[in-house]
Amino acid sequence: GQQLNQSPQSMFIQEGEDVSMNCTSSSIFNTWLWYKQDPGEGPVLLIALYKAGELTSNGRLTAQFGITRKDSFLNISASIPSDVGIYFCAGAGGTSYGKLTFGQGTILTVHP
Amino acid sequence: DGGITQSPKYLFRKEGQNVTLSCEQNLNHDAMYWYRQDPGQGLRLIYYSQIVNDFQKGDIAEGYSVSREKKESFPLTVTSAQKNPTAFYLCASRKDRASNQPQHFGDGTRLSIL
C-alpha cells in the first residue's frame, strides 16, 4: 500500500522553542490531515488541508499542503508543556473513499 | 455531547477466545473505521464501512471480523485466528463517504493477552 514517511521520529525541545515536522509520500494525496494523540487517548484533529499550496493556521500551529501534493509540514511556534504527545500526518487520495494513510508519528517532548 | 464511544477501555483475552470491541457514534456519520496501533507505528486500517450493511477489508483484516447492522454501531471482533492481538484499537467515523470530511476518533480500547 501507500507509504507516508514522517520525520523526525522524535523531538526533545525546550519550552518556548519552535517545532517543525513533515511528511512525504510516494503518491499524490487530495487531503492532508494532522492529528495529535495524547497517551491512552484517540487522535484529535488539529488541521485539515484540502488544496495544494494551502497554508492554514490554528493558534500556534501552522500546516501547509505541498504544491506537489506529495508532502505536508506542521510547525508549532513557542512550544509549551501541553504540546507533548504524538503527532501524526495522514493523507487521503481521490478514490480512497476516505481511507487514510498514516505516517509513523513524531513523538514530541517539551522540557520546561 | 456528540461523539464516538469505545468500550471497554481495557480488555483482556485468553488463548483461543474471541472478544468484541464496541464502537458507537451519535454523530449521524455514514462511514466508520477500525484501526490498530502498535508502539512506534502509525495507524493501520483493519476494516471500514461506508454504509449500513456494507463493509470492506482494510490492510490488516486477517483475524478480525465486523458487522454494521445499525448506522451508529460498528463492533469489531478479534478472533482466535489473530495470533498477535495485543494492541491499541481505535474506531473512527466521518460524515460522508464521498466527501473530504476528516475522520474523528474515539478514545480507544487497549487489548492484552492473559
Calculate the alpha carbon distances from B108 to A3, A30, A37, A97 in Å: 24, 27, 11, 23
Calculate the alpha carbon distances from B67 to A89, B9, B33, B34, B53 in Å: 28, 20, 11, 11, 7
Under 8 Å between Cβ of A72 and A56: no
Cβ of A43 and B90 within 8 Å?
yes
- Using pLDDT thresholds of 50, 70 and 90, give the confidence band for residue B52: very high
| Per-residue model confidence as pLDDT tens digits over A11-52 | 999 999 999 999 999 889 999 999 999 988 999 999 999 999
Under 8 Å between Cβ of B108 and B6: yes
pLDDT on residue A88: 96
Under 8 Å between Cβ of A45 and A35: yes
Cβ of A42 and B97 within 8 Å?
no
Partner-chain residue, chosen from B42, B97, B102, that has the shortest CB–CB distance to A88 = B42
Largest CA distance in chain B: 42
Q: Does B58 touch chain A (CB under 8 A)?
A: yes
Q: Nearest-CA distance from A26 to chain B in Å? A: 17
| Structure-block grid coordinates of residue A95 | 478514490
**How far, in Å, CA of A45 to CA of A87, rounded?**
10
**Residues, chain B:** 114
In B60-89, the residues whose Cβ lies within 8 Å of chain A are none
Q: Nearest-CA distance from A88 to chain B in Å? A: 8
Partner-chain residue, chosen from A42, A50, A97, that has the shortest CB–CB distance to B90 = A42
In A21-40, the residues whose Cβ lies within 8 Å of chain B are 30-31, 33, 35, 40
Q: Which of A19-28, A85-94, B68-77 has the weakest average pLDDT? A: A85-94
Under 8 Å between Cβ of A89 and A101: no
Q: Name, in order, each residue with C-beta under 8 angstroms of B87's C-beta and a sequence gap of 6 or more.
A: B36, B37, B38, B110, B111
pLDDT on residue B38: 92
Largest CA distance in chain A: 44
| Per-residue model confidence as pLDDT tens digits over B76-114 | 999 998 989 999 999 999 987 666 788 999 999 999 988
Q: Does A99 touch chain B (CB under 8 A)?
A: yes
Cβ of A104 and B102 within 8 Å?
no
